[in-house]
Amino acid sequence: MDSYDVVIAGYGPTGSMLAVKLGSCGWRVLVLERQGPSYPLPRAAHLDDEVCRMLRGIGIPPSDIPDVIEPYEDFYEWRDADGDPLLRLDWRGRGPSGWNVSNFFHQPALEDHVRRLASAMENVTVRRGHQAISHTSDCDGVTVHVSAGEDAYQVRGRYVVGADGAHSVVRDWAGTRMEDVGYFSDWLVVDVIADAAFTVKPPALQICDPRRPTTLVPAGPGRRRWEFMRHAGEDPAVFGTEATAWQLLRSWGVSPDNASLVRQAMYTFQARWAEQWRNGRLILAGDAAHQMPPFAGQGMCSGLRDVMNLYWKLDLVLRGADNGLLDTYGPERSGHVRDFIGFSMELGNLICATDPEAVRARDARMKAEAAEVSDLPPRPLPRLGPGLHTGQGCAGTVAPQGIVCAEHAQGLLDDVIGPGGGAHRTSGRTGRRDQRPACRAGCRRCPHRRDWRVARRGYRRGRRWHLCCLARPVRGAGRTRPPRLLRVRGRRRGPDGARSRQAIPRPAPISTGHTGEER
Ligand SMILES: Cc1cc2nc3c(=O)[nH]c(=O)nc-3n(C[C@H](O)[C@H](O)[C@H](O)COP(=O)(O)OP(=O)(O)OC[C@H]3O[C@@H](n4cnc5c(N)ncnc54)[C@H](O)[C@@H]3O)c2cc1C
C-alpha cells in the first residue's frame, strides 16, 4: 500500500493551494480528486488583498497574470429600485496586505496556475478520477479506501485533509456536525463575455430592486457576471435555463448580438460551518468546513486562509512538534470565518429583501446613513478565534504589509524578507508599535519566527542587525489602508561591523531526520 505524509481529498482551490504549500515544505502529498478533467466553470469571481499576498507567496504574483486577475479600482455601488444610490463602498487602492483590496478573476485559469505548481513538484502526486470512499483510522495514520472507475485500492496518510467541498465525505468520517444558520433563496448566476463596447459605471453594482435583486460584477478580464435572485413562486426548472438568462440580460442591453454566454447555473446559497474542524488525523478545510452566501466574495478566500493557518502547523507536527498545535487550527479559523458568514448574511438580508415595508425601511435607513458618511472603506478583517495568539489588542489580526526598504532591497515586505501571506500577529497592543511584524505562531519551533525576528532584532537596534520598524503612513505608495503601514529601514553589518549587501537569509529548515523534510 502506498503511503504519504498527507492525503488531501479534493483538488479545488483549497486542496490545490494546500498541496503546493505542503509540497514546498517537502512532504509527500497525495491529492485525490473525484472529477476527471478540471471543473471548467468559475464560481468565485472576487478575491482580496490577503489572497493576492498568498499567491505572491507561492510565486504567482497577481501582477504577473493580468489575463487572469484584474485589480479593481472603483466603487461598489448599491442602488434602489429607482437607480438611486443606497451605499458606495470604496474598493479602490491597496488593502492592509499590500495588494489591491478588491480583485476580479477567472477561477478556472487561476486554479490552473496553482495546479501547475503542484504538478511540477516531485513529492506531490495528483490522481484525478479517484474518489475517497471510506477510511479506517489508527494511532499512526489513516487508511483511505479509494475508488477509481472499475478499480479500488487503499492508501495510507499520516494525516488526511478533507478539502472536498460542501458535501465533504471526510467531514462525515470525522463525525462533525454542521451549525446551520439558514440559507438564502436561489440565485441564477450568469457569466458572459461581452462586447468591449459594453460598460457599466461603476462596474460592480448591487441592484436592491425587490422585483429582481441583481448583482453585477466583473468576472476577470473581458468577462462579466450577473446574479439574479429567484422569487419563491418561480419554477426553478424554468428559472435556471439559458432562455431565462438571456431574457434577464436583455434589460441590461446584453443579447446574443453583443455577448456570448459562458454559462448559467442556479445556486442555493448556504450559511453553515463545522463545529469541529479536526478529529484525530482527519482535518477539514475550505467549503468542507464552512459555506457562506457569496455576497461578500469571501468563500474561496476563507478556504485559502484555512490553508495558510493549517499548512505550517501540520508541517511542524509532521516534524515532531506536539500535535496539540493542530487543536488551535479549528478554533482560530472558525472564529474568523463565522465573522464573514455573519457579514455575508447581513448583506444577504439587505439585498434579498422583497417585502415592500421592509424595503422602504431599508432604503430610508441606508440613504440617511449615506448622507452622513459617504464612500465607506471596506470593513476591517476580523480577528482569529481563540488559539495561539494572546487575544489582546491587535493580536490575531492580519499582519499588515507595507512598502519597506532595506539596504539590499526595497519593495513589499514579503519581497524583502520572504513570503508571509496569511501572517497574523500573535500579540501586541493597538498603536504605533503594533505595526511591527510579530511571530505568527508564538511557538518555539515555528520556522517563520526567525523571519520575523530579523525585523524585531533590528527594531531594538544595535548588535548585528540594523533594521528599524516604524509605523507611519507611507505616502506615495498608493492609498494606505489601514492608515498606518509598516515601514522597515535597515542595513546589515557583518561580523567586522562593516556594512554588508548580503540578502537577509531565509530560515534554515528544522531538522528532525524525517525524509519528508528534504527540500
Ligand atoms: C455562485 C458562487 C459565487 C462565488 N463567488 C465567490 C467569490 O467571489 N469569492 C470567493 O472567495 N468565493 C466565492 N464563492 C465560493 C467559492 O467558490 C468556494 O468557497 C470555493 O470554490 C471552495 O473551494 P474548495 O476547494 O474548498 O471546494 P470545491 O471548490 O468545492 O472543491 C472540492 C473538490 O473536491 C472534490 N471532491 C469531492 N468529494 C470528493 C471525494 N470524496 N474524493 C475526492 N475528491 C472529492 C470535488 O470534485 C471538488 O473538485 C462563490 C461560490 C458560488 C457558488
pLDDT in tens, 360-404: 999 999 999 888 877 666 667 788 999 888 888 778 888 888 777
CB 295 within 8 A of CB 348: yes
Considering the chain, what is the average pLDDT of its residues?
81
Distance CA 479, CA 9 (A): 40
CB atoms within 10 A of CB 6: 28
The torsion of the CA quartet 323, 326, 327, 332, rounded to 10 degrees, works out to: 160
| 25 Cα–ligand 1 center, Å | 24
| 133 Cα–ligand 1 center, Å | 19
Q: Whose CA is nearest to atom 14 of ligand 1?
A: 44
Percentage with pLDDT > 70 across the chain: 78
Question: Among 192, 196, 186, which Cα is nearest to 237's?
Answer: 186
| 298 Cα–ligand 1 center, Å | 12
| 142 Cα–ligand 1 center, Å | 24
Q: 271: helix, coil or strand?
A: strand
User: How do residues 69-115 score in pLDDT, each as one tens digit?
Assistant: 999 999 999 999 999 999 888 899 888 888 999 999 999 999 999 99
Q: Which is more confident, 515 or 38?
A: 38
Indicate if the pLDDT at residue 415 is higher than 60.
yes
Q: Which range scores top for mean pLDDT: 246-255, 395-404, 465-474?
A: 246-255
User: How do residues 149-172 score in pLDDT, each as one tens digit?
Assistant: 999 999 999 999 999 999 999 999
Cell representation of residue 327: 487543536
Q: 6: helix, coil or strand?
A: strand
Q: What is the pLDDT of residue 424?
A: 63
Q: What is the pLDDT of residue 422?
A: 56
- Cβ(301) to ligand 1 under 6 A? yes
Distance CA 413, CA 182 (A): 41
Distance CA 416, CA 294 (A): 34
Distance CA 23, CA 114 (A): 12
State how beta strands 142-148 and 85-90 pair.
unpaired
Q: 138-150 as b/e, with b when 16 or more CB fall inside 10 Å?
A: eeebbbbebbeee
Predicted confidence band of residue 490 (pLDDT cuts 50, 70, 90):
very low
Distance CA 434, CA 180 (A): 36
- Cβ(343) to ligand 1 under 6 A? no
**What's the average model confidence in pLDDT over 214-220?**
95
Three-point CA angle 480, 336, 448, nearest 5°: 70
| 305 Cα–ligand 1 center, Å | 14
- Cβ(348) to ligand 1 under 6 A? no
| 449 Cα–ligand 1 center, Å | 32
Q: 185: helix, coil or strand?
A: strand
- Cβ(114) to ligand 1 under 6 A? no
| 299 Cα–ligand 1 center, Å | 8
- Cβ(287) to ligand 1 under 6 A? yes
CB 21 within 8 A of CB 304: no
Q: Pick from 21, 69, 186, 287 the residue to mutate for probing ligand 1's pocket: most ligand atoms within 8 Å of its CB.
A: 287
CB 512 within 8 A of CB 23: no
Question: Among 23, 32, 31, 28, which Cα is nearest to 5's?
Answer: 28
Q: What is the pLDDT of residue 382?
A: 86
Q: Which is more confident, 509 or 182?
A: 182
Question: Among 284, 326, 303, which Cα is nearest to 441's?
Answer: 326
Q: Which range scores top for mean pLDDT: 38-42, 172-176, 415-419, 495-499?
A: 172-176
For residue 20, the one-letter residue type is V
492 phi/psi in degrees, rounded to 5: -110, 140
For residue 67, the one-letter residue type is D
| 182 Cα–ligand 1 center, Å | 19
Q: What is the pLDDT of residue 217?
A: 96
Three-point CA angle 285, 287, 290, nearest 5°: 85
Distance CA 329, CA 285 (A): 10
- Cβ(169) to ligand 1 under 6 A? yes
Residue indicated by cell numbers 471596506: 378
Cell representation of residue 86: 443606497
Q: Which is more confident, 204 or 462?
A: 204
- Cβ(190) to ligand 1 under 6 A? no
- Cβ(33) to ligand 1 under 6 A? yes
CB 362 within 8 A of CB 353: yes
Beta strand extents in 149-198 (DSSP E only): 151-162, 178-194
- Cβ(161) to ligand 1 under 6 A? no
